[in-house]
């Protein structure tokens, strides 16, 4: 995400991992499922201890913003793969109506 500046590619592929899932139409984030190498949520355990409510809210926004940013980088389109089956169905369902 940090090396992609603006609209630089025709198509983008995004893998949505277990850190963002959809249940009953609600987006649920889980920073514990984030890659250990991801520096965007470095120090989140301390943040949750110091300020549980604000920390959880901040982490939720970081995770959602990461995926939103990635999904908007392609000029012509975006391919999405979800590791969670229910989340995958959530993204496919609105597309069937189009």
- Please indicate, yes or no, if residue 94 is contained in any of the structural domains: no
Q: Does any domain span residue 28?
A: yes
Whether residue 67 is contained in a domain is answered as: yes
**Angstrom distance (rounded) from CA 77 to CA 71:** 9
The yes-or-no verdict on residue 75 having pLDDT over 80 is yes
Measured distance CA(1)–CA(71) in Å, rounded:
10
- Could you tell me if residue 3 is inside a domain? no
Domain count, the chain: 1
Judge whether 40 lies within some domain.
yes
pTM for the model stands at: 0.76
29-58: pLDDT as tens digits: 988 787 777 666 666 667 777 877 787 888
Structural domain contains residue 54: yes
Structural domain including 75 reads 9-85
Q: What does residue 39 show for φ and ψ, rounded to 5 degrees? A: -80, -10
């Amino acid at each position: 995400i940090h090396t992609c500046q603006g609209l630089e590619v025709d198509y983008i592929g995004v893998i949505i991992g277990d850190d963002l899932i959809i249940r009953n139409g609600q987006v649920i984030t889980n920073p514990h499922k984030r890659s250990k190498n991801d520096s965007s949520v470095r120090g989140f355990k301390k943040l949750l201890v110091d300020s549980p409510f604000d920390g959880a809210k901040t982490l939720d926004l970081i995770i959602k913003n990461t995926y939103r940013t990635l999904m908007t980088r392609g000029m012509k389109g975006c391919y999405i793969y979800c590791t969670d089956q229910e989340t995958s169905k959530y993204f496919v369902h609105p597309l069937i109506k189009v």
